[in-house]
Amino acid sequence: MALLPIYETPDPMLRQISTPVENVDDELRTLIRDMFDTMYDAPGIGLAAVQVGVPKRLLVMDLQEPADPDDPESPPVKEPRVFINPEIVGASDRKVPYSEGCLSVPDQYAEVMRPDRVTARWLDENGEHHEEELDGLLAVCLQHEMDHLEGVLFIDHLSKLKRDMVLKKLAKVRRERGAKAA
């Protein structure tokens, strides 16, 4: 198991435009495994390669929803998903708010409006093509991860006032963490 360092805002790494994956090979599959280890450890429900310092068009997701929807404490079902060179080929007109967080903006949450359904195309870890319509949290998370491939963070979708509030709270959390660690 290998945990990779997660880059946090305002690191310029997160502003890189990720480049297409050329070869779906064993080296890439090793990176994918390490990204899952890192995402589950964080814990998070998605991770783009650029967040671990590899600006390639690759992301992993696992919503890890509880087995029993009525019992949030029930053990999560593992459903790992890999998206290589993903594209959104269609989106609904209807937009819905969702309170988003990001491992690169730790412990901060804010509502972002996005299309509630998207049709996406991608390759999996075996180089197989997929096209599927996604909705719910899966659609939200895919759009959040695909933003990372363009150097965009969820805070970029907020008004300047809200963004500054989030960044101020982040600075405060970091000051308190720094004080505790010392």
Residues that bind Ni ion (CB under 5 A): 102
Q: Decide if 121 contacts 129 (C-beta within 8 A).
A: yes
Considering only residues 58 to 97 of the shown chain, the ones binding ligand GNR according to CB under 6 A are: none
What's CA 104's distance to the chain center, in Å? Answer: 9
101 binds ligand GNR (CB under 6 A): yes
Q: Decide if 36 contacts 80 (C-beta within 8 A).
A: yes
14 binds ligand GNR (CB under 6 A): no
Closest Cα to residue 31, out of 2, 63, 62, 64? 2
Query: At 81, is the secondary structure helix, strand, or coil?
Result: strand
Least distance (Å) from Ni ion to the CB of residue 102? Answer: 3
Residue 138 binding result from ligand GNR, Ni ion, none, given CB thresholds of 5 to 8 Å by partner type: none
Interior CA angle at 44 toward 105 and 118, to 5°? 90
102 binds ligand GNR (CB under 6 A): yes
Query: At 150, is the secondary structure helix, strand, or coil?
Result: coil
Residue 123 binding result from Ni ion, ligand GNR, none, given CB thresholds of 5 to 8 Å by partner type: none
Closest Cα to residue 149, out of 31, 10, 54, 34? 54
Stretch that binds ligand GNR, among 13-21, 46-54, 72-80, 88-96 (CB under 6 A): 46-54
**Closer to ligand GNR at the Cβ: 85 or 104?**
104
Question: Could you confirm whether 22 is annotated as catalytic?
Answer: no
Active site residues per annotation: 145
What residue ranges bind ligand GNR (CB under 6 A)?
44-48, 51, 100-104, 140-141, 144-145, 148
